[in-house]
């Protein structure tokens, strides 16, 4: 039984380590952005456009790309909000999702450790009941 409890902890720890490794340089990049003369403007754009990836997937499809003749580079016309945030178009489910995502990000790894602990406790009880169940118990004897 202790072997089963170690797996969620090991997997959670590995996921945290890999995610942490990917984000180590981000603090320095954000700090560098705030030191620029136009830093507040960039930060305002980031705050006003929280889901840039979905806007890019809608506005920057291969058929929508254009080429600049002077620099011979491709670009797309991407709508960027310049002030405030707007409610997500998805309605209540999108608001719940974004709120939950923001809270999980704010909690950091604490939610992962709490979730792994609860999963271990519930998994242990479930496994005990399954193995004690009469049609399965003969497999263990």
Q: Does 68 have pLDDT greater than 80?
A: yes
| Average of per-residue pLDDT values in the chain | 75
What span, in angstroms and rounded, lies between the C-alpha atoms of 12 and 117? Answer: 10
Q: Does 132 have pLDDT greater than 60?
A: yes
Confidence of residue 134 (pLDDT cuts 50, 70, 90): low
Those residues with Cβ within 8 angstroms of residue 93's Cβ, 6 or more apart along the chain or in another chain: none
Confidence of residue 1 (pLDDT cuts 50, 70, 90): very low
pLDDT (average), residues 15-34: 68
Q: Quick one: the chain helix, strand, coil %, rounded to 5?
A: 70, 5, 25
pLDDT (average), residues 25-40: 76
What span, in angstroms and rounded, lies between the C-alpha atoms of 96 and 93? Answer: 5
Whether the CA torsion 9, 13, 16, 22 is positive or negative: it is: negative
Cα separation values, 34 from 10, 80, 138, Å: 37, 20, 65
pLDDT (average), residues 29-55: 79
Residues, the chain: 141
**What three-state secondary structure class fits 63?**
helix
What span, in angstroms and rounded, lies between the C-alpha atoms of 139 and 141? Answer: 6
Q: Does 32 have pLDDT greater than 80?
A: no
Tens of pLDDT, residues 89-130: 566 777 788 788 888 777 778 877 888 888 888 888 777 777
């Amino acid at each position: 039984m202790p072997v089963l409890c170690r797996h969620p902890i090991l997997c959670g720890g590995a996921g945290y380590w890999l995610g942490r490794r990917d984000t180590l340089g981000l603090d320095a990049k954000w700090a560098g952005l705030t030191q620029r003369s136009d830093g507040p403007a960039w930060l305002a754009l980031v705050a006003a456009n929280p889901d840039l990836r979905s806007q890019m997937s809608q506005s920057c499809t291969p058929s929508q790309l254009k080429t600049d003749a002077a620099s011979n580079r491709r670009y797309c016309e991407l709508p960027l909000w310049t002030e405030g945030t707007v409610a997500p178009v998805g309605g209540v489910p999108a608001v719940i999702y974004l709120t939950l995502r923001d809270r999980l990000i704010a909690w950091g790894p604490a939610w992962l450790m709490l979730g792994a602990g609860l999963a271990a406790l519930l998994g242990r009880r479930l496994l005990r009941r399954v193995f004690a169940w009469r049609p399965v118990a003969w497999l263990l004897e």
